A and B are shown apart, each in its own frame.
Chain A
Amino acid sequence: MTRPFSSLSQLQSQLKDRSISATELTQLYLDRIEQLNPILNCYITVDEEHALERARAADQQLARGSGGPLTGLPISQKDIFCIKDTTTTAGSKMLANFRPPYSATCSTKLEQAGAITLGKTNMDEFAMGSSNETSFFGPVKNPWDLLRIPGGSSGGSAAAVAAGLCAASTGTDTGGSIRQPAAMCGLTGLKPTYGRISRWGMIAFASSLDQAGPMTRTAQDAALLLEHMAGYDPRDATSLDEPIPKYSQELSQPLSGLKIGVCRQFFSEGLDNAVETVIREAFKIFEQLGATLVDIELPNTPLSVSAYYVIAPAECSANLSRYDGVRFGHRCSDPKDLQDLYQRSRGEGFGNEVKKRILVGTFALSAGYYDAFYRRAQQVRRLIKNDFVEAFDHVDLIIGPTAPTPAFKIGEKVDNPVDMYLQDIFTISANLAGLPAMSIPAGQVEGLPVGLQLIGNYLQEGTLLRAGHQFQQATDWHQLTPDIEL
């Protein structure tokens, strides 16, 4: 494995035995960013000065034998996490010049553990999209095929890791935005249990669904990052006050005795035949590893996309009402009155997909429609959750495809929003239920990565990571890298 494509754990030992310094490693990624980012467009902001300063400090710590568990490891962060004094845009014109006065809790925790932030990655505007095409800063290219999308909304993070422009990244997942781009770029992407990682300082899209998580080359790396991202935060009333297991230490436990559910509803119409073949081949690996596969039913899961496209827009219409052009964000020029200031600032600052979702949410919450749409969607949300609760009485994990197809071509689905929304058909239910879920590379179709999704019971990220790690000990899909070199 060449160095830019090394895992965090490999880099950790290279830094420790001094075969490379943190400064050299950081410079290596910065050089690659300089040369490849103009092609891929995966970074919105690169903070070279800050990164090198942190790297020099890391080298001093490493020389002294001190430092934290992530000291000297260069990562990127999705541009949805506020980082103090660093432009944080959420992929929107609205926040193109926004410099937060504070940092997101999980970004702070990663830096406190020693990670070096190289820069902020591109994303769909306010995380609304599955292709990274709604970003104000332009689409991101998939390193596996530059004509194709990297997935979304954390598409910049996925492309940056896949192309070796950082060692790992962070993402957020409201309906699949970590797992689907991880699948399309051949990475491991974990959405933890709702509340596992603090949302404080993470720009809100749909607050009852949003969850941050790691995007890495391996499950082992995801375990390492999660240990340092997770934890109770008094600043986020929805963060969970639960102990954080040492995920890295549980990875080597064998899978014998593990019961894995295969859900018929995840093999529905719309699933690409070649993707299905890859996923069913992956099932055999889990059986070889000692797990038992059993059929299960999640009868209400097919309603996930419908429930999501009421709940997420409703929450986004409320969350995005804060962008009024007064205290921060874009302001139109020469407003004639306050109403004009609000309307034109919002009209100019938001892109079309964001505007559409705000209007759908406004509709779903408005008098006369609330019961038929919002209330009903929340009732269906409970039905979807209940299906999972019942299933997890019988199984430890549920597996299936992450996305119905491999990466599609840029522009292919722009005029067909419903087709775009169905990209998340297998991922959304875990967000609605608040369950942890992860995508790992499980094969390829015509040279494009395919992701396998594992869904776990509440707070059982350890089981997901262990299953992912054991699968990666038996396969090498996660070690493949795209043919994109300087």
Chain B
Amino acid sequence: MTDLVNETLLKDLTTLAQLPFEPEQVSSTLSAINEVLELVTQLENAETAEIAPLAHPLERQQVLREDAVTENIDRSQLSRNAPSFEDGLYFVPKVIE
């Protein structure tokens, strides 16, 4: 079958997913993705015209709760995992010149 994803579409997907690929990986990535998509095209065999999509397996309603602070985690326990953190701020490269 024709490959669903070509090089142009792969470039769009890698941009959307923020996942770069080296030029030498493009061919193997394309074939890996298209192999999975070929597997999933079997879904076309199902008769789904009158069938509502199922998102939650038990079809329960989402539970809502008060938008209230119920607990606090010490900030230092969160910031210790940050690659770059100073004076209470997460550091990233300059965004605006």
Question: Which residues from chain A sit less than 8 Å from chain B, CB to CB?
Answer: 97-99, 101-102, 193-195, 208-209, 234, 237-238, 240, 300, 303, 305-307, 309-310, 313, 317, 321, 324-331, 335-344, 346-347, 350, 352, 355-356, 358-360, 362-363, 366, 373, 375-383, 385, 417-418, 421, 431-435, 458
Contact = CB atoms under 8 A, between A and B. Distances in A.
A331 B81 CA distance: 11
A355 to B, nearest CB: 6
Contact of B35 (A237, A346, A375, A418): A418
A434 B58 contact: yes
B13 A362 contact: yes
B46 A356 contact: no
A359 B19 contact: yes
B94 to A, nearest CB: 8
Interface string B7-21: 001101110111111
A378 B54 contact: yes
B40 interface: yes
Contacts of B45: 303
B77 A101 contact: yes
Chain B: number of interface residues, binned into ranges: 35 or more
Given A194-B57, A328-B83, 15 more contacts: A195-B58, A306-B39, A321-B18, A326-B83, A338-B95, A341-B93, A343-B18, A346-B18, A362-B13, A375-B53, A376-B46, A379-B51, A381-B53, A382-B53, A383-B46
B54 A359 contact: no
Contacts of A344: 20
Given A101-B78, A327-B78, A377 B37 contact: no
Contacts of B39: 305-306, 309, 418, 421
A325 B18 CA distance: 12
Nearest to B22: A347
Given A379-B53, A385-B57, A359 B17 contact: yes
A346 B19 contact: yes
B19 A303 contact: no
B73 to A, nearest CB: 5
Which of B5, B52, B54 is packed against the most chain A CB atoms within 10 Å?
A: B54
Nearest to A378: B53
B59 to A, nearest CB: 9
Nearest to A323: B18
B36 to A, nearest CB: 5
B60 to A, nearest CB: 7
B42 interface: yes
B95 to A, nearest CB: 5
B68 interface: no
27 contacts: A97-B81, A98-B81, A101-B74, A195-B58, A209-B57, A240-B58, A240-B60, A306-B39, A325-B83, A326-B82, A327-B81, A328-B83, A329-B83, A337-B94, A346-B19, A355-B19, A359-B14, A360-B36, A362-B16, A363-B5, A366-B13, A376-B43, A380-B46, A418-B39, A421-B36, A431-B57, A432-B57
Given A376-B48, A377-B40, A234 B65 contact: yes
B69 interface: no
Contacts of B78: 101, 327-328
A358 B17 contact: yes
B46 A208 contact: no
B81 A356 contact: no
A310 B21 CA distance: 22
A363 B13 contact: yes
